[in-house]
Every structure is written in C-alpha cells, then in structure tokens.
Amino acid sequence: MREISLAFGPGQALVGTLTLPAADQAAPAAPLGLVMFNSGVVHRIGPHRINVKLARKLALRGIPSIRFDLHGMGDSLRADGVLPYERQAVADLGLAMDALQDCAGVARFALLGFCSGAVPSYLAAQADPRVGAVILYDAFAFPTPRSRARFLWLRLSGHGFDPQALRRDVRRLGRGLARLPHRLFERLRRRGNETFKQAGPSEQKQPMMVRGLGELTRRGVKVVVLHAGDDFGVANYAEQFRDAMGDALPREGLHYGFLASIDHVATSTPAQKVFLDAICAALLGDHLDCMPADASPAPASPAAHSAAEVG
C-alpha cells in the first residue's frame, strides 16, 4: 500500500491524499476508484479518521482511492466564488476523479457521500459519466406509515411501558389526531385545485429524486442508500427510502442498508468496523448482508438487533 499527498486542480488549490494498492500486489485491475471528501466541515480524514481506515482497507483489496478537501475546507484554498457551492463541489469532485485517474489508471469511480456530502455526490453522479457507483449515507430520509409505527413501538418498548412515558405518548398521539382533519383537508384541497398553490421545494424533492435515480440506474450506476441507527425517528428500517419514493422508483440498480447498531459518525471501534464492512460490501459485492453479524457493537436501543437490515 502506498499513500501520496498531492495538490491538484487549477492553481494546485485542492489538497488530497491518494491511497494506492502495493505495486507488487497480486490482484486484478481495479474496477473503479473511490472518491471521499468532507462531511460538513470535517477534514478529509473523516469523522474519527474513518476515511483513512476505509482507504487502507480498500487498498488491501486492490481498490485505489483519493480523499480530498473541497475548496475552502481543510487544507484546500478557497474558491474564486464564481460558482455556487453545489456546482463548485461537483467541479471539485470531477477534478479529484481526474487526479485519481492520472495516478491509478482507473476510468470508473465510486463516490462516498457521507451526510452533507450526499447531495454533491448525487449531483456529480448525474453530471459525470465516469461515475459507476454512488453511496448516499445518512442524508435522504422520508417518513412512511411503517417508520412512524415502528418508531412509536420502539419508544414504548424502550421506556418499558412506564406510566409517565405512556401518558406523554398518549398526549402526543392526541395532538396528532386533533391535527389530522386539518392535514387531510389541506391535502384534498391541493389535489382538487392544482392551481391553488405552486408546489414548493419539499413537494418537488421526491419526484425530482425519483427521476434522477431513474436516470442514474438506466446508465448502469449502482446507487446505495445507507442509514445509521441512532435516530430511529428519522429512519428505522432498510426499505424506508423505497417505500417513501413509491412504485415509480426503479427496481434495478438501487440497494438499501440500515446499520441499526451504529451512530451517525461511527464513534466506537466496533461501529466503525460495521460501517467499513458495509461500504466494502457496497463497492465489492451486490448485497450488504455479507457483513458478519458478530461485527456489530452492543445495541444502542432495544430495536438494534443486528448489524444491518438489508433491502
């Protein structure tokens, strides 16, 4: 394994680290290279150095990678401000793919969109035909009837049916039921009069994403949607993303994973192993259920029964 720090892009403004398989490693040519970058304002090493660990783990299996800082983050210089953030991030990802292609000879790439990095990764996958896989981690979550019911059951189970907690939950349920007629009326009014109000960004998000995912999968891009298990109120089962998007979502090329036993930034060493195994499985295999069950840490909640639920 070799690691090389480099500056690249116009004016050598971007800084990254290449992790390459050993030159004498007896392995077939890598099918793709992995691109990792900042999550929020976290340095390119990732939370708890998770990107470093992932890069080295993949290098041992013949996969080269680059982890780099976007313009204005970590060690990279600020951008000139001509492009808005998302377009600049997409351009930066293209430059990182160029650098990895030049140094490792790969022509196809996977993008790891960790939390806030999911949107730039998703957009870059649409813009660049070299992207063959994109992993969207803990970013896109939409509630469903099943997720709400599951969350309610988890709350009740977690409190052990404590009377005080039950009273609190009953009050919340009552408030929700009281608002239900108003919500139904608003929904029916929107459906009955399409000209009454233009659809807002939140109403447009799901149909736009369905179309975007359809375009990616038709191109042969593998899309993996992963969620951690530390906020069961947001996402709490593997198929939630598909259920929320509906039947229009393409059936082929999309994979889902729910890492029930880990927190968002994979704080503990066992949680990091679960995360790393899930990413490796997403890149190197067709399913996430090749992860060993005994790799999961102690459950963080009563519902965290396994390392991953897979859809």
The mean pLDDT of 137-155, rounded to a whole number, is 85
Q: Is there a single domain that holds both residue 38 and residue 48? A: yes
Look at the chain and report how many structural domains it folds into: 2
Instruction: Show Cβ contacts of residue 103 under 8 Å, excluding neighbours closer than 6 positions.
Output: 4, 6, 18, 20, 64
Specify if 177 maps to a domain.
yes
Q: pLDDT tens for residues 35-94?
A: 999 999 999 999 999 999 999 999 999 999 999 999 999 999 999 999 999 999 999 999
What pTM was estimated for this model as a whole?
0.80
Q: Is there a single domain that holds both residue 227 and residue 131? A: yes
Q: Is there a single domain that holds both residue 134 and residue 185? A: no
Instruction: Show Cβ contacts of residue 279 under 8 Å, excluding neighbours closer than 6 positions.
Output: 54, 112, 135
pLDDT confidence of 302, banded at 50, 70, 90? very low
- Where in the sequence is the domain holding 160, given as residue range(s)? 146-192
Measured over the CA atoms of residue 145, residue 120, residue 266 and residue 58, the dihedral's sign is positive
104 dihedral zone (left: phi>0; alpha: psi -120 to 50; beta): alpha
Instruction: List 74's β-bridge partners, or say none.
Output: none
Quote the DSSP letter at residue 70. P
Quote the DSSP letter at residue 304. -
Q: pLDDT tens for residues 215-256?
A: 999 999 999 999 998 888 889 988 999 898 888 888 888 999
Q: How far apart are CA 196 and CA 191, in angstroms?
A: 9
Interstrand relation of 33-36 and 65-68 (parallel, antiparallel or unpaired): parallel
Specify if 92 maps to a domain.
yes
